[in-house]
Chain A
Amino acid sequence: MSIFIDHNTKLLVQGITGRDGSFHTREMREYGTQVVAGVTPGKGGQQFDDAVPIFDTVTEAVSTTGANAAVIYVPSRFAVDAMYEAADAGIALIVCITEGVPVLEMTRVLPYLRDRGVGLIGPNCPGVISPGQSKVGIIPGQICAEGTIGVVSRSGTLTYEVIHQLSKHLYGQSTCIGIGGDPLIGTNFIDCLTAFEADAATEAIVMIGEIGGTDEQQAAEFVAAEVTKPVVGFIAGQTAPPGRRMGHAGAIISGSSGTAAEKMVAFERAGISVMKRPAEVVALLQERVASHHTV
């Protein structure tokens, strides 16, 4: 088992012929993801790598191939409509890798998807991987291993760093999700924690947050109230100055709110083991997973 994606995920790639889209489609196929269709307006009827049919529209692609998930690699100016188009075509899960989607656009996109029961991961995220089953997005498959740790993060390469530590020490993963570094995103920490808690294949959860907003604080309250599995956490940006945007659009301390310190306190209060540095994930998991077994 896993969350959000598995063997049965039939993926459609929006922007399959672009530079990023084509590169990552090859990586996903190599990993074993069922890529059933691609969409690039004007290239309908062609084949991608002689294997994946390309369509002009998402609706056409879905009705022909039965795709149930979509990944978006189109440039930011097309990404908003790509999300609406996938939702209108009946896609159940959209993963938007594209960075630079305006926040005010997201205030309209999010209720539109919610009203239609469509899940969204991202935007500005590395996507999802369920090791050994499927990957949707750009997380490098070779650093992952099959196992029982669920990983959820607002970051990209920092997540890879943590996954790398886990795999190196034989802690495989059930599913790893990058939820994205923007201020307004679809699937959030609490959605992932809920899914990991319900997933029989997930034994413990690693949660990687960063400065900006209060998602981690809310997630911590949720962990305290609803999560029985051990949770290990990290917050990036302890040395970040206030008022400056640290790369991610959402990574900014506003006034005195959204600091790493307040998030770490919230984690500790909720019984989450807080790593002081990424490499500590293994030691903390050893403590928590072992003690968890003895309860």
Chain B
Amino acid sequence: MNLHEYQARALLKDAGIPVPDGAVATTPDEVKQIAQHLGRPVVVKAQVHTGGRGKAGGVKIAADASEAREVAEKILGMRIKGLTVEKVLVVPAEDIATESYVGVIVDRVSQQPVMMVSPAGGVDIEEVAAKTPEKIFKAAIDPRYGLLSHQAMVLAFRLYENISQVRQAATIMQQLYRAFADAGGSLAEINPLITTREGAVIALDAKIVVDDSELERRPAIRELRDLTAEDPAEVEAREAGLSYIKLDGNVGCCVNGAGLAMATMDLVKFYGGEPANFLDIGGSSSPQKVVTALKIITGDPNVKSILFNIFGGITRCDDVANGVVSATAGTKLARPMVIRLTGTNEEIAVDILRKAGFEALTDMDEAVQQAVKLAREAA
């Protein structure tokens, strides 16, 4: 789960990290009030779950409160990479001397948390890693002990020469690791970590991604989820226990299992079509899940044909068949549907579907080819 910048900075602040004053707003008038209260030039920053906000025009400087209001009018409601800006963060414009990067992730190769820093901050860190890897410094963290002081100091000396700033940055790194661990993070970063003309070290931006598996035991973090910042269909899917990601194609896919769902999308592409979505109905799926899945897929106006691909293991094919039948009972489906199922209770499922007027295939390639063809004919 992604946190907004304003949520992440609140967690960093709680951990003791210096962050600029400021507040979040949803209307231009609120923005004006906050800017007035700050009493100096401000930066208005769009709060959306995507990178590249600055390039998209979602981050703007304003000299005074009335300009802040004007800027906010443009930013609030704008769309960045398909997401509507509902909130902005208003912070004082800082006088920046240097910009660095500080971040912690769980490294899949070493299977440990790793603190990474770079004196080349304020830009896309992936780019720094690709072009100038010598500018990135890392320390592996033993999760039993956390980031040790001397580890943090070694990294901080890579950023600053001034010993006061080195100490400030080292403390911030330890606080960042604690905030990361306490939030159940899979990533926490400050980009940029700045020094001001006065020599203070401040977190000017904040990003935290929480491991979804941590949410069950962290109700306070769970409550930070902003449903307005997500695709409504994806929210509905998650609440129904489905995993759904909307894509741009026209073949709607309904599959059990994430690997098979990806392979199905790939096969749609292989046969010349474009998948409209990733959708995993999961194991032990009930008919109700299938009903919700079909509702979500048909809610996408781009979908021209619907493809079911079910390999029954824990998922019983008859459950899926019953779901298809009850989802379509009484209404005529507006899009053609191809159903492939094989495995547990396959014969029962085929029988249920046939009685309801549906054909069922057993071969994945054949089903995908048909679905692609139907989508093309309907387009």
Residues of A within 8 A of B (CB): 20, 76-77, 100-104, 106-108, 110, 126, 138-140, 143, 153-161, 164, 181, 183-184, 208, 210-211, 213-215, 218, 234, 236-241, 244-251, 254-257, 260, 276-279
B364 interface contact, C-beta 8 A: yes
For residue A143, which residues in chain B have a CB less than 8 angstroms away from its CB? 343
Per-residue interface assignment for chain B, residues 134 to 151, with 1 indicating a CB less than 8 Å from any chain A CB and 0 otherwise: 000000000110000000
CA distance A208 to B365 in the complex (A): 18
CB pairs A–B below 8 angstroms (27 shown):
A76-B213, A102-B184, A102-B211, A102-B213, A102-B214, A103-B186, A106-B111, A140-B313, A140-B344, A155-B259, A157-B311, A158-B257, A158-B260, A159-B259, A160-B313, A161-B260, A164-B311, A181-B258, A214-B108, A234-B263, A239-B265, A239-B266, A247-B261, A249-B212, A251-B258, A260-B266, A277-B263
Q: Is the CB of A157 within 8 A of B278?
A: no
CA distance A246 to B216 in the complex (A): 20
CA distance A214 to B108 in the complex (A): 8
Interface of B is mostly: mixed
A81 to chain B, nearest CB (A): 13
For residue B275, which residues in chain A have a CB less than 8 angstroms away from its CB? 239
CA distance A251 to B268 in the complex (A): 19
Interface size on B, residues (CB 8 A): 53
For residue B311, which residues in chain A have a CB less than 8 angstroms away from its CB? 157, 160-161, 164
B198 interface contact, C-beta 8 A: no
Query: Which partner residue on chain B sits nearest A110 by CB separation?
Result: B111
B23 interface contact, C-beta 8 A: no
CA distance A140 to B261 in the complex (A): 18
A-B contact count (CB 8 A): 166
For residue A157, which residues in chain B have a CB less than 8 angstroms away from its CB? 255-257, 259-260, 311, 313, 315
For residue A251, which residues in chain B have a CB less than 8 angstroms away from its CB? 258-259, 262
For residue B343, which residues in chain A have a CB less than 8 angstroms away from its CB? 140, 143, 160, 164
CA distance A249 to B214 in the complex (A): 12
Q: Is the CB of A155 within 8 A of B245?
A: no
B286 to chain A, nearest CB (A): 13
